[in-house]
Chain A
Amino acid sequence: MHRRYRPRTFALELLMIVIALLFAYPVFVLVKLSFADAGNYSGAWNGAHIGAAMVNSTIITIASLVCLILIGSTAAYYLARTHSRLSYGLYLLFLLGIVLPFQLALVPLYRFMKDTGLLGSYTSMVLFYTGLQIPFTIFLYTGFLRALPREYGEAALVDGATHWQSFTRVTFPLLRPITGTVVILNAVFIWNDFLTPLLYLGGTPNETLPVVVYQFVGQYVSNWGYIFAAVVMASLPILIVFLLMQRYVIKGFASGLKG
Chain B
Amino acid sequence: MIGKAVVRSAGRHRFRRAGSPALWFAAPALALYGLIVIYPSLAGAIYAFTDWKGIGTAHWIGLENFKSLFTDDQSFGALVNTLKLTVVVVIVQNTIGLLLALGVHTLIRTRHVLRTVFFAPAVLSPVVLAFLWKYMFNPAPDAGLNALLGFLGLGFLQQNWLGDPSVALWAIAITVIWQFTGYSMVIFLAALQSIPAELEEAAALDGAGRFQRFRHVIFPLIAPAVTINLTLSTIGGLKIFDQVFAITNGGPGYATETLSTLIYKQAFVFGEFGYSTAVALVLALLVAGLALLQLRYLQSREVTY
Whether A195 sits at the interface, judged by CB under 8 Å, is yes
B122 and A107 contacting across the interface, CB-CB below 8 Å: no
Given contact pairs A1-B200, A86-B23, A100-B37, A228 touches B287 in the complex (Cβ within 8 A): no
User: Among the listed stretches B59-67, B70-78, B100-108, B157-165, which one makes contact with chain A, having 4 or more residues with CB under 8 Å of it?
Assistant: B100-108
A25 and B33 contacting across the interface, CB-CB below 8 Å: no
Whether A199 sits at the interface, judged by CB under 8 Å, is yes
B29 and A99 contacting across the interface, CB-CB below 8 Å: no
Q: Which residues of B contact A249 (CB under 8 A)?
A: 123
CB distance from B149 to the nearest CB of A (A): 11
Given contact pairs A81-B20, A90-B30, A131-B33, A253 touches B122 in the complex (Cβ within 8 A): yes
Q: Which of A83, A132, A228, A235 sits near B124, CB closer than 8 Å? A: A235
B26 and A79 contacting across the interface, CB-CB below 8 Å: yes
Chain A interfacial residues counted at CB < 8 A:
104
B124 and A238 contacting across the interface, CB-CB below 8 Å: yes
State the CA gap A63–B118 with chains docked (Å).
30
CB distance from B209 to the nearest CB of A (A): 12
Chain B interfacial residues counted at CB < 8 A:
101
State the CA gap A109–B125 with chains docked (Å).
23
Question: What 0/1 readout, one digit per residue, does chain B (18-59) give for beta carbons within 8 Å of chain A?
Answer: 111111011011101101111111011101000000100000
B283 and A103 contacting across the interface, CB-CB below 8 Å: yes
Q: Which residues of B contact A75 (CB under 8 A)?
A: 25-26, 28-30
CB distance from B63 to the nearest CB of A (A): 17
Q: Which of A24, A107, A224, A258 sits near B276, CB closer than 8 Å? A: A107
User: Among the listed stretches B83-91, B186-194, B296-304, which one makes contact with chain A, having 4 or more residues with CB under 8 Å of it?
Assistant: B186-194
B33 and A13 contacting across the interface, CB-CB below 8 Å: no
CB distance from A44 to the nearest CB of B (A): 12
Task: Considering the complex, give the chain B residue whose CB is closest to the CB of A156.
Answer: B18
State the CA gap A228–B23 with chains docked (Å).
51
State the CA gap A166–B59 with chains docked (Å).
53
Interface centre among B25, B45, B47, B242 (most CB of A within 10 A): B25
Q: Which residues of A contact B23 (CB under 8 A)?
A: 78, 86
Whether B291 sits at the interface, judged by CB under 8 Å, is yes
Task: Considering the complex, give the chain B residue whose CB is closest to the CB of A97.
Answer: B37
Interface residues of B in 107-132 (CB under 8 A from A): 107-110, 114-120, 122-129, 131-132
Whether A108 sits at the interface, judged by CB under 8 Å, is yes
Given contact pairs A107-B44, A239-B123, A20 touches B114 in the complex (Cβ within 8 A): yes
30 A-B residue pairings within 8 Å (CB atoms) = A1-B204, A9-B107, A13-B110, A17-B110, A78-B23, A78-B26, A82-B21, A84-B20, A99-B291, A101-B238, A101-B287, A103-B239, A104-B280, A105-B44, A106-B44, A107-B280, A108-B39, A127-B35, A128-B36, A131-B35, A134-B33, A151-B9, A194-B245, A213-B127, A214-B246, A217-B131, A231-B128, A249-B123, A253-B186, A253-B187
